[in-house]
Structure 1
């Protein structure tokens, strides 16, 4: 939907490429990428440079005498070093990548999504749950890529785009992103596409001691209640697996973060947050979502409201059902990213509210079945104190 795969193979370009790779320390060059030759003595012989031909002609003009071995060796050594010192006819650096394909979209060898910083021993998968927010993505991708590159953080952006006809399920999309991002990323960032970090003191560090909530309640421009962990949350892969990811029951907007907080608390994982920043709620992040343009899906149907108020002990990463329709690589203003077009599957017997087109409004609770009082995860909020005007 957003872009198509665009990769191309570029083999070594004759002796000029070989020469550059020799100068700069080539990797293993495959002979299949070199021009064919008729020489049986030197299978790696390539088309000569005009200066080389001139030197060889000069050597042949010498009287046919029997020079000493030392003089001949010295003469040809000088010619070889002269050959290496000549300027290459082509411009640009040598891509000494074992003759592999170069990705014309990212500009890096195939399989390498982003620039790697040797000083950072970790790699972060930036997971963006997504649907119909193209304008926001155009602004978010280059902003976050430049922000993290300035911190020299190894990272790659994964946009998990829900393309089915069901209601939006942010939690399930994050579960998909975790499974599809690969083990080369040892921690993930659950990141909203409409939240741009502004303060460079917000460091997206590897959360070795436990989940790290970057968009803390005292910094987020809208949500300020103590148990809030939405916006931007960093977590190690093993910690995410330990709590079985997020619940898959949250179709529509809201509450999936509150249920995830309950999972972290049960697993005794302490959430830490940034402190001692000079910025606050107004200038730490920029919230670019406009609810007047894109209304949030806050419809409740069937028994959704009752079920989603409580801790989910049945679904999660281990029960996720989906398939990836397509996988696209593209860049937005030099920011490389991967688009995963995902189709989620719904068990209507468990969560009939994944599609509310036929049943709008909550089903009245059976008076014979008392309301559950345990495992309630919905915080009681003073809206004036804990919520700001949405931007």
Structure 2
């Protein structure tokens, strides 16, 4: 708001100059007028009344003009786009610290909440103030980063999380891979620094929809060093599903133990509120080219180090007191590796009719009893 007011004041000042209007810069003009009146020896009542009227008008307008001029002088407006890109395509981070409303001196750690995002603004308006208030009660240093995919490719949650990790300052020593449609309700859910390894907040025995043992989606806290260690997430997962399962395989291969909340007083029904309605926001379940076959296996080609993208713009907004950084991101697709980033020309799995398939190593797809491990709540 201060930046908007600043630009508005400059605009008004410029327009007044164009129209020949000028601010009164010296309040001493009032004294000069009074002295002039007093020098008139035979001033009539009319002259006296006219003079006093001028003095009255000066007293009305001078404070306003002086105040505007002062604000204009002190204003330091930050121009839109005052950030640079380095050779790798990443924004050069300026460590300006955390916002006052989210800064807790007693907390030695800083949490970056990474929200992969596209067309979910109604959910964001509810999520941002909720999670900020939730973490402020726990006195956790935190900041919300919304990584908004603005290209025409299919949604890639994993790549957006990689982008958010790269764009957040290294002063954030742990990240939360957080769905925008999952709101924590139980105060016993602590977003503590995961010193013993990744901490799965939305555990299978608490998540309202997914309950299989290897599930690590929804909300996962990861140390920055551990995220680097496994090279982030795979960039092969365009469309919905399996990127979390592939990340689980990376964590296990790196021998990182995953811990979860225990002894909570709530259950799958009241630990979280899931605000996604699959009837309104349908998931992209399409499989094309050889996507179905390739994405079932552990990815050893792509990850954090191979993420390619451009930052279209960066915005700082406030949602009911919650400070949010929005990164509008254009992802790049290596079509020789993942042609299924765009299924408009080839819908359907090209390997579907083959009788003989190559040996499947590194399978990451969990075997799930859907009746037992998936709740049909939307």
TM-score range, shorter chain: 0.7 to 0.9
1:269 corresponds to: 256
**1:184-199 matched pairs, under 5 angstroms:** 184-199=171-186
Deviations 1:44-69 (A, max 9, x none): xxxxxxxxxxxxxxxxxxxxxxxxxx
Q: CA deviation at 1:329?
A: 0.1
Output the aligned Cα RMSD: 2.2
2:244 corresponds to: 257
In structure 1, how many angstroms separate the alpha carbons of the residues matched to 2:269 and 2:186?
A: 11
Q: CA deviation at 1:272?
A: 0.2
| 2:134 counterpart of 1:134 | no
1:155 corresponds to: 142
* SS of match in other structure, 1:353: helix
In structure 2, how many angstroms separate the alpha carbons of the residues matched to 1:101 and 1:204?
A: 37
Q: CA deviation at 1:119?
A: 0.8
Q: 1:360 to 1:381 in 2, by over 3 A?
A: same
In structure 2, how many angstroms separate the alpha carbons of the residues matched to 1:7 and 1:322?
A: 33
| 2:308 counterpart of 1:308 | no
1:327, 1:340 within 8 Å by CA — same for their partners in 2? yes
1:162, 1:343 within 8 Å by CA — same for their partners in 2? yes
Q: CA deviation at 1:5?
A: 7.6
2:306 corresponds to: 319
Q: CA deviation at 1:111?
A: 2.8
Q: 1:112 to 1:309 in 2, by over 3 A?
A: same
TM-score by structure 2 length?
0.74
1:5, 1:330 within 8 Å by CA — same for their partners in 2? no
Equivalent residue in structure 2 for 1:223, among 201, 210, 219? 210
1:278 corresponds to: 265
1:23 corresponds to: none
In structure 2, how many angstroms separate the alpha carbons of the residues matched to 1:153 and 1:370?
A: 50
Q: 1:365 to 1:235 in 2, by over 3 A?
A: same
Q: CA deviation at 1:311?
A: 0.2
| 2:276 counterpart of 1:289 | yes
In structure 1, how many angstroms separate the alpha carbons of the residues matched to 2:335 and 2:361?
A: 25
Q: CA deviation at 1:364?
A: 2.1
Equivalent residue in structure 1 for 2:197, among 210, 220, 224? 210
Q: 1:4 to 1:282 in 2, by over 3 A?
A: farther
Q: CA deviation at 1:184?
A: 1.4
1:213, 1:232 within 8 Å by CA — same for their partners in 2? yes
1:124, 1:154 within 8 Å by CA — same for their partners in 2? yes
Equivalent residue in structure 2 for 1:358, among 345, 353, 359? 345
Deviations 1:321-363 (A, max 9, x none): 0011000000000000100000000011100000000111000
Equivalent residue in structure 2 for 1:245, among 229, 232, 237? 232
In structure 2, how many angstroms separate the alpha carbons of the residues matched to 1:7 and 1:367?
A: 65
Q: How many residues align?
A: 294
1:200 corresponds to: 187
Q: CA deviation at 1:4?
A: 12
* SS of match in other structure, 1:265: helix
2:86 corresponds to: none
In structure 1, how many angstroms separate the alpha carbons of the residues matched to 2:272 and 2:176?
A: 16
1:114 corresponds to: 99
Q: CA deviation at 1:389?
A: 1.2
In structure 2, how many angstroms separate the alpha carbons of the residues matched to 1:368 and 1:279?
A: 48
2:132, 2:322 within 8 Å by CA — same for their partners in 1? yes
Equivalent residue in structure 2 for 1:383, among 365, 370, 376? 370
In structure 2, how many angstroms separate the alpha carbons of the residues matched to 1:351 and 1:5?
A: 43
Greater percentage in helix: 2
In structure 2, how many angstroms separate the alpha carbons of the residues matched to 1:226 and 1:8?
A: 54
1:5, 1:328 within 8 Å by CA — same for their partners in 2? no
Deviations 1:29-85 (A, max 9, x none): xxxxxxxxxxxxxxxxxxxxxxxxxxxxxxxxxxxxxxxxxxxxxxxxxxxxxxxxx
TM-score by structure 1 length?
0.72
In structure 2, how many angstroms separate the alpha carbons of the residues matched to 1:7 and 1:257?
A: 44
* SS of match in other structure, 2:166: helix
2:61 corresponds to: none
Deviations 1:180-212 (A, max 9, x none): 011111100000000000000000000111000
Gaps of 5+ in 2: 8-73, 79-94
Gaps of 5+ in 1: 10-98, 104-109
